[in-house]
Amino acid sequence: MSDQAAGWYPDPTGENQQRYWDGDSWTDYYAPALPAQEEPSGPETAHEDYPYLAEVTHQRPDVMVAPGTPGAWSTSSAWGTPAEGKDDSGTKVFGAGVRNTPGGVAAVASLVVLAVLLVAGIGWWVVSGMRGDDPDPSGGSTGGSGTGSVTTGTVTLTDTIDALVEEDGRWEGTLSLSEATVLLLDVRTDSGEDLEVSVQDSSGAEVAGGDDRGRELTEGLGGSSLDPLVTAELEGGEYTVIVTELDGERSGFTVGATPVVEDVELELPTAASVPASGYWAGSIDLPADGAYAVDVRDSDGNDPVLVTIASDGRVRSNDDRDPQNDDRDPLLETQFPAGTVVLLVTEWSEDATNVTVTVEAS
């Protein structure tokens, strides 16, 4: 459903709940499936709720007596003629006599109170189920506050380190950059927790952050769709990488920081070598918002896959430009905002291959 608009949809895993689709991939935001709307039920709908009683002839509607007793009510047969219901100013009213008795009034009042309690209970259930959900699924955490214990470490470029966030705590890693860098920050866990990452400068202002990497990056780079993967264009200086867990759970994880050093120039082909079981990363600075085409050509007869991360954080991908004609080279034609776009090329079978990458305005 890659063309489906962002919004709440039934959870594709089959759970009795809704899940938020951000326009590109399923997020980890859930909401209870709303119960079917309750049909009104009460004295006003008795005629519709119990149609078989419409055939009852009420000789004494206010008194309940044994069958066969003179004056008792009787039912019509297939060859009998159903009696008309009580007529009240031209409108047929079922059981009007019963409603005018003390017992009937009490029964009606009980039904009304029950209906009110039922509606109130459903409303409370819906509100309480939604109270913990993020009203903006593209935003930050609503679970763990990160105010518990703090563990620390150091983020090293071109290296992957092991780290730990304690229950309802946070992990803080120092990052030093000697020059301006386009950074690919890969945070992932093997135990299924939902991590979030924030990059702050020396003043404590957030300069980059992310939550779920989504399906395209998971297929290309591995990890879970709930693991963050952040791209950021950072000036030289000191930064703090902060990792928390969405639900405040304890989690071990890894942090990998890869500088994107390959520069791609607009309209000029760039040779790229994709390593086995890995990826090639490059970046291009787009001068303006507009339509662009990213053209990847393989020279080894392999099957490359293209994933792009725009300056607004949106992920786009393409695998085969024309699979029906066995053209497996990616071609992505789309709208990009101005700014830095990170280009990632992998190979479908995880084989090493060589490609050329060209970005053109279209």
**In the block, which residue shows the tokens 């997020």?**
27
Confidence of residue 182 (pLDDT cuts 50, 70, 90): very high
Q: How far apart are the first and last CA of the chain?
A: 26
Q: How far apart are CA 8 and CA 354, in angstroms?
A: 41
> Is the confidence at residue 41, as pLDDT, over 50?
yes
Written as six digits, the tokens of 147 are 């105010």
More confident residue, 253 or 12: 253
Give residue 71's identity as a one-letter amino acid code. G
pLDDT reported for residue 19: 84
Q: How far apart are CA 138 and CA 146, in angstroms?
A: 19
Helix (H, G, I), strand (E, B) or coil at 133: coil
Number of neighbours of residue 23 by Cβ within 10 angstroms: 13
pLDDT reported for residue 302: 95
18 within 8 A of 32, measured Cβ to Cβ: yes
109 within 8 A of 35, measured Cβ to Cβ: no
pLDDT in tens, 100-132: 555 555 666 667 777 777 777 676 665 555 444
pLDDT reported for residue 42: 60
Helices (H), the chain: 46-49, 96-99, 102-130, 214-221
Residues in Cβ contact with 299 at an 8 Å cutoff, skipping those fewer than 6 apart: 353, 354, 355, 356
pLDDT in tens, 194-246: 999 999 999 999 999 999 998 889 988 899 999 999 999 999 999 999 999 99
Written as six digits, the tokens of 274 are 């994709």
Residues in Cβ contact with 231 at an 8 Å cutoff, skipping those fewer than 6 apart: 182, 183, 184, 185, 208, 260, 309, 313, 340, 342
pLDDT reported for residue 33: 73
Helix (H, G, I), strand (E, B) or coil at 298: strand
Mean pLDDT of 286-299: 97
Q: How far apart are CA 204 and CA 275, in angstroms?
A: 37
% of the chain at pLDDT higher than 90: 55
Written as six digits, the tokens of 291 are 């339509």
> Is the confidence at residue 29, as pLDDT, over 70?
yes
pLDDT reported for residue 283: 97
Give residue 86's identity as a one-letter amino acid code. K
Cα dihedral 171/176/180/185 (nearest 10): -30
Helix (H, G, I), strand (E, B) or coil at 269: coil
Written as six digits, the tokens of 4 are 């489906």
What is the average pLDDT score of the chain? 80
> Is the confidence at residue 83, as pLDDT, over 80?
no
pLDDT in tens, 344-355: 999 999 999 999
Q: How far apart are CA 14 and CA 220, in angstroms?
A: 26
pLDDT in tens, 255-283: 999 999 999 999 999 999 999 999 999 99
Mean pLDDT of 31-44: 62
Cα torsion 105, 108, 114, 115: sign: negative
Cα torsion 98, 99, 102, 104: sign: positive
Confidence of residue 5 (pLDDT cuts 50, 70, 90): confident
Confidence of residue 80 (pLDDT cuts 50, 70, 90): very low
pLDDT reported for residue 308: 96
More confident residue, 348 or 98: 348
Opening angle at CA 82, ends 76 and 85, nearest 5: 120
pLDDT reported for residue 140: 41
Lowest-pLDDT range of 97-106, 154-163, 336-345: 97-106
Q: How many CA atoms lie within 13 A of 344 on its CB side?
A: 24
More confident residue, 94 or 202: 202
- By CB atoms closer than 10 A (0-12, 13-18, 19+), residue 84 is exposed
